[in-house]
Structure 1
Amino acid sequence: MASVSYRSLAADILEKVGGEENIMGATHCATRLRLKLRDESKADTAAVENLPGVLTVMQAGGQYQVVIGNEVPTVFAELGKISRFGKDDTNEEAPAQGNLFNRFIDVVSSIFSPILWPLAGAGLFKAFLSMATTFGWVDATNQTYVILSAAADALFYFLPLFLAITAARRFKTNQFTSMAIAGTLVYPSIVALGTAGEPVAFAGIPLVMMNYTSSVIPIIVAVWLQGYLERFLLKVLPAAIRNFMTPLLSIVLMVPLTLLTVGPLTTFASQGISGGITAIFTFAPWLAGAIMGGLWQVFVLFGLHWGFVPIMANELATGGQSLLMAPLVPAVLAQAAAMLAVALRSRSAKRREVAAPAALSGFLAGVTEPGIYGVNLPLKKPFYFGIAAGAIGGAVAAIGGSASNAFVFPSLLSLPAFASVGSFALLLTGTGLAVAIAFTLTFLFGPREQADAAAIPSVNDPVPAPDAEPSVGQTAGVTARNIQVLAPVSGAAVALSDVPDRVFSSGAMGAGMGIIPEDGKIYAPVSGIIQAAMKTGHAYGIKSDDGVEVLVHIGIDTVQMKGEGFESAVIRGQRVEAGDLLATIDRGKIEAAGYDSTTIMVVTNTKELTAVLPSAEGRLAHGVPALDVEL
């Protein structure tokens, strides 16, 4: 399909189905453009099937289904450029599950996921640079340090710009418009307005400014709202002006809206919280220390910590010490200790690779963002354990009257700043307690997670076919020029020709097989990159390290369930190893809704390969070789 013009294909499909006026709705799944036509008799089906890039056409379930294959998202996007369609709810992120807080964590974690490695690297860079200045290896006043400090801190300072990109992908909106909104929040003159201390107004409306650098929630909320605004504008604006007026109006409306709402809400909340905690220090220092130690990372998460900065700075300017800063040491190091426990306890090599350097940067430099967003918050329990431990340690530190005589990031390397005020011994005791409690609770009771490769089957698992080598959990094996694609689910193998879906059974999508699942766990059949992960959770496209493109399609026509009964475990762009969990399904719900749960696995680039042949039959355990691919 490399020679196919997808823009032309979209235009030709639009014309041959009767034009835009004949389409009531449009969406797509992993392989098909799904159109709801007003009058199917107006569609020239033969002409559509003959278009370059179209595999076949199916008319079922009240839908006119144009089967395109892996490039259907591209065709759908092109359709959106020439019609009012092309933006729908079928995005490639898994729907958030659970209560409101869990959904919030899932959203934030998925938005941070693509930048975790740069965050971890930058955090470690900051830790080593902080250590170098502490021990006098680098002079903090020379130009070399300035350059290195900028390189280490840039990602954190301009974090809203990075989050704008990942949030735009999550909420399916224009990422460059999102970056323009984020860029405004951290624009030098806007930052200056927030630090000048003078009244600020927009069109006569008073603005309550905050510092948006390094912030998280403001840009995520802004991009979320931008998505709704963009979809509305794309529907109502005439085609002649839609392409440039949509981003223009989005920027013009979203920037003032964000500054007028998010800034004041965050600022008033942080000022109220910081003022209250400062007052508590006068009559119950232990309680104030417990609140600061326990909730500091929560304040940081919501951007509320900025309200404490002026108070801390004023404390240092007027009295030469800051009581508010002492409980932050146990708070930060407790979260770092939880990260260290995850690094030692988790069975997931990928999680350990994030947790170990994140713990180091947390301990040495007080930089916890990589570990919070990549480890503790997604796993929940380590985050909660860190909060509890920080509260206990913060209370002990506050009882001793510990305070800092300089504005520092709380970390092991900054401990000397706390040595001359109050009881340094109690600060060390509180910090040690926080570290010990967070580490112990996480190590003993934190989630172990699944190994990156599938576990060895139990005695209750189906027995592999006699002629298939048991290799559960292995990555796709290479024998000469042969690649083994593993069974994604345990169950009975079905010949592809017997799958009750004409598109797959005809081989139009490529060679492969079906499996009637016996449980609700679907695993990656190869190691590679997730190229498609439908929001509905029913289909996943993976490109293996060897260039084999595998589609795992769960059930027949299950896109109609709109994600009900499906829980995705991966997102597009994520790397997986063979045997990693792709999704969990509720087979009972699928069958109760009247759909066939047969899971289909096809190699969609079969025509580019020498051969794709089934290598097993009968009852299979997930992870055994199922297809033999000759490159």
Structure 2
Amino acid sequence: MAEEKITRIAREIYENVGGPENVRKVIHCMTRVRMTIIDETKVDLAGLKAIKGVLGVIEDETLQVVIGPGTVNKVAQAMVDMVGVKLGEPFPDTSDSLDELMAKTKANAKEKYNKPSKFKAVLNTIAKIFVPLIPAFVGAGLIGGLASVLSNLVTAGTLDLATWGQIITVLKIIQGGIFSYLAIYVGLNSAQEFGATPALGGVIGAVSLLLGMDPNAPLKNVFNGTPLSAGQGGIIGVIFAVWLLAIFEKRLHKFVPESLDIIITPTLSLLVIGLAEIFLIMPVAGVISSSLVGAINFILSVGGGISGFVLGALFLPMVMFGLHQILTPIHLEMISKTGSTQLLPVLAMAGAGQVGAAIALWVRLRKDKEFVERVKGALPVGILGIGEPLIYGITLPLGRPFVTACIGGGIGGAVIGALGNAGAIAIGPSGVALLPLIADGKWWIYLCGLLGGYIGGFVATYFFGIPADAKMKADNYATVGPKEVVEPTLKVVEPVKFKTTTIKAPLSGKVVKLSKLNDQVFASGLMGKGVAIEPTNGEVCAPVTGTITSILPTKHAIGITSDEGVELLIHVGMDTVELKGVGFECFVNENEHVKAGDLLLKADLKKIKAAGFSATTPIVVTNTKEYSAVEVISSTEVTKGYPLITIKA
């Protein structure tokens, strides 16, 4: 039914503007479809206004049909799909064969767009958990990579420990701020994604570190009696445990009396899920680890390029599940007996495959500017041997590139195995940082392996690892122009009943009535009641506790639904969609739950005004009709976080 409504609105708009042949191009912003009309005499304004679902029509440089958030992007996309162009592209001459062209483009769309799957949903969830961590990955990773290079040079005797030792220690402390406690950060983000209490998710992440365990009396694996080790189960184990936490906590909320909920629910949740993590999730990973020891020893005994390929290809999946912990004693035993570990350089090729895959993604998806920025940040870290940003932020969320990256790692491992197994004199990070530790002058073998991994990962990913939907998004990115992307929230929020609720000011400044705005949509109240603020500061904070429902790629407008069900639109500036994101920085993601006062975005007011746009920011209750009254409290100056609007149920 939803699709029929969207198609109907799109077709009726065309019918009242003289058909697609009278339209030069279509774009849209947060609230309205904007059309460049060829012959304005063919436009039936009354007919447009009469369309069910259209809130209003504005005549300006472009003809603007007001539809509202959540629907406008779908209608605009349907309109261009009917013609066979992308948003923002000039329309072709369709006067002779419009029906034929529409049928063709509809068939093409069915072939191009893959149906949603559970696997893609899982990958999407992983991306939402790890993408917010990428800036920390990149910063700490580069610092850690530098520390690794210096440390390896000290181990190799090139640098003096007395001179460089303290500097290396300081750099490693900074690096450890995220990588040593990554499980906690993942627990927090996973809880936000799954709808659990973030603090409880962080605790569940910390449980996997076994911080309170006495090393002299370790907890035992209930399956085979071996000691549990910190991190056993890996990051994937943490995500799974927090997913269970979310299910368990939500069910407790339904049955525990409200007066006891704050005591009983968190206590039982941590106890039950913590026990399951320690005595089930981590031991299962331990059993897998133990069985892999024999397999690894067998692979090593085979030798040559075959063993190199298998080990290089399988190492990253082992890291994901925390199974790489079992390799440390093997490395140490090899160094003790032979003076070097021939296993470490081979396994390091897994990171080389990731680097090659990331470069291929950069080349193939270069039009997707946001994705390229992530790759550019993660690549230097990956080259230095810190693989988390590439794994969790780039290849794994896309699915197929992770597999082709593993193939690239296998190719790099095969190169080293075939050339004679270079060894490392100590355990250290991979990437180019490992070069100083390669024994017996065989650094050139290791370097050949790196190049093999880079090339293998690049070729496998470039030709076989690019997901169709990612390619389509990238191809559309550059030509779309200002485009709103609104996806249904993944979280089902049951509104809280209230008599009166308060909306706080999202920014500081002078209060302006909507009717005073030089924009008919907001001034007329088409989008709902509310108020505007002439800001003195560019920081925009959450006016309510709730869920982010929509964010424009241009970052100038954001939608948020409070836990009580109030739907708000914050639109920074007038016509600032034309800035295409310049001067805006967003700090939240769609479907993220935020608290009142949390920073949502920053706007550079000087850039906005220098470009000739007003920075006046409307705050509108878009579901105004559901309430008996929406009243503005402040009428002159307001400070961020102070009461701004009251709503009566």
TM tier relative to shorter chain: 0.5 to 0.7
Per the alignment, residue 112 of structure 1 pairs with: 130
Q: 1:429 aligns with which of 448, 462, 467?
A: 448
In structure 2, C-alpha distance between the alignment counterparts of 1:242 and 1:211, rounded to whole Å: 32
Q: Retained in 2: the 8 A contact 1:160–1:213?
A: no
**How far is 1:420 from its partner?**
1.7
**How far is 1:151 from its partner?**
0.8
In structure 1, C-alpha distance between the alignment counterparts of 2:308 and 2:323, rounded to whole Å: 17
**Tell me, which stretches of 5 or more residues in structure 2 are unaligned?**
1-68, 71-113, 486-509, 511-519, 533-549, 578-588, 604-617, 623-630, 633-649
**How far is 1:385 from its partner?**
2.2
Query: What does 1:159-198 align with in structure 2 at a 5 Å threshold?
Result: 159-190=182-213, 193=215
Q: Retained in 2: the 8 A contact 1:528–1:577?
A: no
In structure 1, C-alpha distance between the alignment counterparts of 2:198 and 2:574, rounded to whole Å: 28
Q: 1:527 aligns with which of 555, 575, 578?
A: 555
Per the alignment, residue 626 of structure 1 pairs with: none
The amino acid of 2:132's aligned partner reads P
Is 2:626 aligned against 1:604?
Answer: no
Describe the shift of the 1:604–1:316 C-alpha distance in structure 2 as closer, same or farther (beyond 3 A): same
Q: 2:260 aligns with which of 231, 241, 244?
A: 241
Per the alignment, residue 329 of structure 2 pairs with: 310
**How far is 1:534 from its partner?**
11
Describe the shift of the 1:533–1:391 C-alpha distance in structure 2 as closer, same or farther (beyond 3 A): farther
In structure 1, C-alpha distance between the alignment counterparts of 2:569 and 2:198, rounded to whole Å: 24
The amino acid of 1:348's aligned partner reads D
In structure 2, C-alpha distance between the alignment counterparts of 1:118 and 1:312, rounded to whole Å: 29
In structure 2, C-alpha distance between the alignment counterparts of 1:271 and 1:407, rounded to whole Å: 21
Is 2:176 aligned against 1:153?
Answer: yes
The amino acid of 1:185's aligned partner reads S
Per the alignment, residue 18 of structure 2 pairs with: none
Per the alignment, residue 220 of structure 1 pairs with: 239
Describe the shift of the 1:577–1:285 C-alpha distance in structure 2 as closer, same or farther (beyond 3 A): farther
The amino acid of 2:197's aligned partner reads N
In structure 2, C-alpha distance between the alignment counterparts of 1:167 and 1:547, rounded to whole Å: 36
**How far is 1:269 from its partner?**
0.8
Q: Retained in 1: the 8 A contact 2:312–2:413?
A: yes
Deviations for 1:164-194, whole angstroms, at most 9, x for unmatched residues? 110110111111122223333325333x53x
Per the alignment, residue 301 of structure 2 pairs with: 282
Deviations for 1:314-373, whole angstroms, at most 9, x for unmatched residues? 222333222321212322112122223334542222222221231111112x10101211
SS at match of 2:409: helix
Deviations for 1:471-502, whole angstroms, at most 9, x for unmatched residues? 75699xxxxx9xxxxxxxxxxxx99999xxxx
Deviations for 1:366-396, whole angstroms, at most 9, x for unmatched residues? 1010121111112334322211111122122
Q: Retained in 2: the 8 A contact 1:455–1:472?
A: no
Q: Retained in 2: the 8 A contact 1:337–1:438?
A: yes
In structure 2, C-alpha distance between the alignment counterparts of 1:127 and 1:114, rounded to whole Å: 21
Describe the shift of the 1:128–1:428 C-alpha distance in structure 2 as closer, same or farther (beyond 3 A): closer
SS at match of 1:327: helix
The amino acid of 1:329's aligned partner reads A
Query: What does 1:535-614 align with in structure 2 at a 5 Å threshold?
Result: 543-546=570-573, 570-572=590-592, 604=620
Is 2:360 aligned against 1:332?
Answer: no
Describe the shift of the 1:543–1:384 C-alpha distance in structure 2 as closer, same or farther (beyond 3 A): farther
Describe the shift of the 1:253–1:381 C-alpha distance in structure 2 as closer, same or farther (beyond 3 A): closer
- What is the root-mean-square deviation in Å for CA atoms of aligned residues? 4.6
In structure 2, C-alpha distance between the alignment counterparts of 1:352 and 1:509, rounded to whole Å: 38
Query: What does 1:6-155 align with in structure 2 at a 5 Å threshold?
Result: 98-133=116-151, 134=153, 136=159, 142-155=165-178
Q: 1:292 aligns with which of 296, 311, 316?
A: 311
TM-score (norm 2): 0.56
Per the alignment, residue 376 of structure 2 pairs with: 356
TM-score (norm 1): 0.57
Q: 1:410 aligns with which of 430, 435, 440?
A: 430
Describe the shift of the 1:414–1:207 C-alpha distance in structure 2 as closer, same or farther (beyond 3 A): closer
Describe the shift of the 1:386–1:202 C-alpha distance in structure 2 as closer, same or farther (beyond 3 A): closer
**Tell me, which stretches of 5 or more residues in structure 1 are unaligned?**
1-68, 71-95, 458-470, 476-480, 482-493, 499-503, 512-521, 551-568, 579-601, 609-631
SS at match of 2:290: helix
Q: Retained in 1: the 8 A contact 2:528–2:621?
A: no
User: Structure 1 vs Structure 2: percent identity of aligned residues?
Assistant: 23
Is 2:456 aligned against 1:456?
Answer: no
Per the alignment, residue 251 of structure 1 pairs with: 270
**How far is 1:123 from its partner?**
1.0
Q: Retained in 1: the 8 A contact 2:571–2:619?
A: no
SS at match of 1:275: helix
